Amino acid sequence: MANTWGYGAMTNHLGDMQNSKAIIIMGANPASNHPIAMQHILKAKEQNGAKIIVVDPRYTKTAAKSDIYCRIRTGTDIAFLYGIIRLARENGWYDKSFIEDRVYGMEDIFKECEEFTPEHVEDVTGCPKEVLIQAATVFATAEPGCLIWNQGWTQHSVGSSNTRLGSIMQLALGNLGKPGGGCNILRGHDNVQGSTDLGCLSDTLPGYYGLAEGSWKYFAKQWNVDYEWLKGRFKTPEMMQAKGFSLSLWIHGVLDKENEKNNADTPLKALVCIGNGISTITQTHKVKEALDKLEMVVFIDPYVNDAAVITTREDNLFLLPAASQVETSGTVVNTSRTAQWRSKVVEPLYEARPDHEILFDFAKRLGFYEQYIAGMGKGDKFVWPEDATNEIARSLKTIGMQGRTAERIKRHTENWHLFNSTSLKGRGIVEKEYYGLPWPCWTESHPGSPVLYNINLPVSQGGMGFRNRFGLEREGVSLLAAEGSAPVGSRIKGGYAEITSKNIEELSGITLTEEEKKTVEGKNWKTDDSGLLVKYALQAGLAPYGNARARTIVWEFVDPMPKHREPLHSFRPDLIAKYPAIKDKPNHFRTNVRYESEQNAQVWVKDYPINIVSGRIVEHMGTGTETRASKYLSELSGEMYGELHPNLAGKLGINDGEMMWVYGTGEGKIKIKCKFSYRVDENSVFLPQNFSGVWQGESLLDRYPKGTAPYGHGESSNQVTSYGFDQQTSCPETKCSLVRIERA
């Protein structure tokens, strides 16, 4: 199922943050969650004099290292960002020439930010206006400034607008395409970037190719299978091009009758879950209902998956033991868009088998193994995992993976000590290459691109402009970059369209032979298997995907320009009239999703007056399934709790260490320990996301197969996080929920 948590790729890389002069961290807590990234951030501060600004509703361990801390109410980042953009505009801190040359639509943003005066931002976010002004002044005048975000931004109904407006702020300040600048999204699990690149999403094929017929035909060729055969796998041709369910919404495909027509009248009947812990999805009580109702449930996991003890079904529940990462090999792609080769350390223990072997067996028994492996070579004649890596390199042209062959990736990993961690540049046998060949890595001699959109390097050395993806013009305004803003060494000095067989000769100045013409006919850079279009583009200093403007307006979205909208369960109902949720959205990832109707169903804050701040703790990972199986980590943090400000706890009559009931706006409730803390404000409770194994006050430990129960266990916060999903990506609104708390 899809990776729902929608973050976005990093434009720069971890080591590059050391080049920053100011770093604004919004909705991320790297001191706890990305300790390696935090070391680069601290080096920027200590060695480069960078100022650190943290914008977070909770005073985190990262905030403790900041120069400026801005506490905001959850779900108000858009107001805060517009506040910064407005101050930048008013004080002339924006980058005029960058905007003129390389951006489309900034004037509209400048209009949109008008209402967000410091006073208004203070009212909406709760951050004192003096602190906003101080943060904006420091950040907008720094050269360059880097923006970091993560889950504090995406787990909202307006999460996709948060991430867009952050990028727009960086465009306004001219902070993109520069070392030390950029949008550095700290991604989650190792290989989250890799799994998104590979299309573990329900709305794309690998490499973000989309689901249109042309993309399927392209992949049929790459996979060496017949397109008609692929088509025959779907109930209708329409379903082939329709988005699937997302991880956050699949339960509605089991439970809600009204959704069936979105799903070709086919309710979901079985679930195969690989590498996801079920208690990390909102509405966990509904998840249980769905698990109980399905006809069959399969978990492929090295541990006993959470869901296996949450469901009370008694048949057709299968646990297939998967090998862990040290028992298998292959590539992983980290947050910096760089690949690494992972080598097997030991053979799989007991009955455990690597995920791919289990999947191969599934394919054999379901009768499509021959087609499944055909892209690597028919009839078991492939070498695993090298041939899979090379298939990825060959097929994922959209993100420039052609140069990322198994052989090169291995050479990088084996020689990692020859690379500089701040610039990623190699020495000796990896001279002039960048560590892990950050994509785009256009050809087998290309070094990779450490900083996206950098026009101060030739394309052949990792430079590029913005991608031409949205047409050549919009309402009479050109979407191509202005004269003088092409990467250095480019034959064309201004903007140009993506490279196709039609424009290659004109743009590159090269005359194709008759044979070459035939080879590339009807192709563009992302469908041309011969590599000729990319080769000739690079020779002329051109980026295969063109040189366009970054757009601030996404005309096909519900909100073409990012808009502040109050959370569905708002702590400030007085602001809902001005900033309402969008209209309910039918068939959003095959589900009819409530927005406006949920927001207006009642004045939620009357019955649920406390705001959830949800996040992670350093001791545990995800559900905690793996880490709570460790005695030592469980000794450090072995039970679920909620952080309450002593003044709020006092009002509720609860003392430090006492148990309390937390009731969500749905049907869920959890019984957890109260922990006094000054990290949260007097309206909020912090709930860590890393526990499960207790269900509404009852321990589930006796449901684990003998000897497999975790050492640490506790209630899952997602029993009480509210209904709500991003208006574009459907990421759950786990970071904005209301609850009621009573002494237990």
Ligand X SMILES: Nc1nc2c(c(=O)[nH]1)N[C@H]1C(S)=C(S)[C@@H](COP(=O)(O)OP(=O)(O)OC[C@H]3O[C@@H](n4cnc5c(=O)[nH]c(N)nc54)[C@H](O)[C@@H]3O)O[C@H]1N2
Which residue has the CB atom at the shortest distance from Mo ion?
Answer: 188
- Least distance from Mo ion to the Cβ atom of residue 398, Å: 23
Least distance between ligand X and beta carbon 274 (Å): 4
Q: Least CB distance from residue 5 to Mo ion, whole Å?
A: 4
* Partner from ligand X, Mo ion, none contacting 302, C-beta within 5 to 8 A by type: ligand X
CB of 712 to ligand X, least distance (A): 13
* C-alpha–C-alpha distance, residues 52 and 56, integer Å: 13
Question: What is the distance between the alpha carbons of residues 174 and 170, in angstroms, rounded to a whole number?
Answer: 6
- Taking the least distance from each CB to ligand X, the nearer of 76 and 262 is 76
DSSP code at position 25: E
Which CB sits closer to Mo ion, 306 or 598? 306
Give the nearer residue to Mo ion in terms of CB position, either 28 or 649. Answer: 28
What are the residues binding ligand X (CB under 6 A)?
Answer: 5, 26-29, 32-34, 55-58, 60, 74-75, 77, 150-152, 155, 188-189, 274-277, 280, 300-303, 305, 322, 324-325, 355, 613-616, 618, 620-623, 625-626, 689-690, 717-718, 721, 734-735
Spatial CA neighbour of 402 closest among 427, 437, 374: 437
Between 181 and 622, whose beta carbon lies closer to ligand X?
Answer: 622
Query: What does 56 interact with, of Mo ion, ligand X, none (CB < 5 to 8 A by kind)?
Result: ligand X
Identify which of residues 371 and 684 has a Cβ nearer to ligand X in the complex: 684
Task: Say how far apart CA 297 and CA 272 lie, in whole Å.
Answer: 6
Complete edge-to-edge strand list for the sheet that includes strand 317-321: 270-274, 296-301, 317-321
One DSSP character per residue, 163-219 reads HHHHHHHHHHTT-SSSTT-SEEE--SSTTHHHHHHTT-STT--GGG--SSHHHHHHH
First to last CA, the chain: 37
Burial 337-362 (b: 16+ CB within 10 A, else e): bbbbbbeeeeebeeebbbbeebbbeb
Contact partner, 66, from Mo ion, ligand X, none, Cβ < 5-8 Å per class = none
Q: Which does 389 bind (CB under 5 to 8 A by kind): ligand X, Mo ion, none?
A: none
Nearest approach, Cβ of residue 247 and Mo ion (Å): 11
Nearest CB to ligand X, comparing residues 188 and 495: 188
- CB closer to ligand X, 542 vs 672: 672
Pick one of ligand X, Mo ion, none as the site partner of residue 126 (Cβ within 5 to 8 A by kind): none
Residue 29 interacts, among Mo ion, ligand X, none and using kind-specific CB cut-offs from 5 to 8 Å, with ligand X
Kindly state the helix (H) or strand (E) to which residue 43 belongs, with its residue range. helix 35-48
Listed ranges 89-97, 117-125, 180-188, 258-266: which one lies at the site for Mo ion (CB under 5 A) = 180-188
Among 2, 3, 4, 5, binds Mo ion (CB under 5 A): 5
DSSP code per residue over 537-557: HHHTT--TT-BBPEES--TTS
* Residues forming beta bridges with residue 641, ordered by sequence position: 673
Q: Tokens in use for 244?
A: 């699937």
Copy the structure tokens of residue 704: 């684990």
Q: Is 153 in the site for Mo ion (CB under 5 A)?
A: no
**C-alpha angle 558-561-564 in degrees, rounded to nearest 5:** 85
Structure tokens at 82: 């517009």
Per the omega criterion (within 30 degrees of 0), is the bond before 144 cis?
A: yes
Residue 32 binding partner per list Mo ion, ligand X, none, with a CB distance cut-off of 5 to 8 Å that depends on partner kind: ligand X
Q: Which does 27 bind (CB under 5 to 8 A by kind): Mo ion, ligand X, none?
A: ligand X
CB of 600 to ligand X, least distance (A): 21
* Bridge partners, residue 103, by sequence: 550
The least distance separating ligand X from the CB of residue 672, rounded to whole angstroms, comes to 13
Give the separation between CA 698 and CA 678, rounded to whole angstroms: 30
How far, rounded to the nearest angstrom, does the alpha carbon of residue 358 sit from its chain's CA centroid? 27
Nearer to ligand X, 273 or 459 (CB): 273
Q: Shortest approach of ligand X to residue 320 CB, angstroms?
A: 8
| H or E segment and range at residue 46 | helix 35-48
Output the smallest distance, CB 288 to Mo ion, in A. 22
Minimum CB distance to ligand X, residue 357 (Å): 11
Binding segment toward Mo ion, per CB under 5 A, in 1-9, 240-248, 413-421, 547-555? 1-9
Residues 533, 482 contacting (CB under 8 angstroms): no
Q: Which of 30, 188, 448, 693 binds Mo ion (CB under 5 A)?
A: 188
Q: How far is the CB of 2 from ligand X (least distance, A)?
A: 12
Q: Which is nearer to Mo ion, 5 or 466 (by Cβ)?
A: 5
Q: Which is nearer to ligand X, 275 or 560 (CB)?
A: 275
Going 657 to 281 to 663 to 58, the CA torsion angle's sign is positive
* Residue 188 or 400 with smaller CB distance to ligand X: 188
Q: Please report, as ranges, the residues that interact with Mo ion according to CB under 5 A.
A: 5, 188
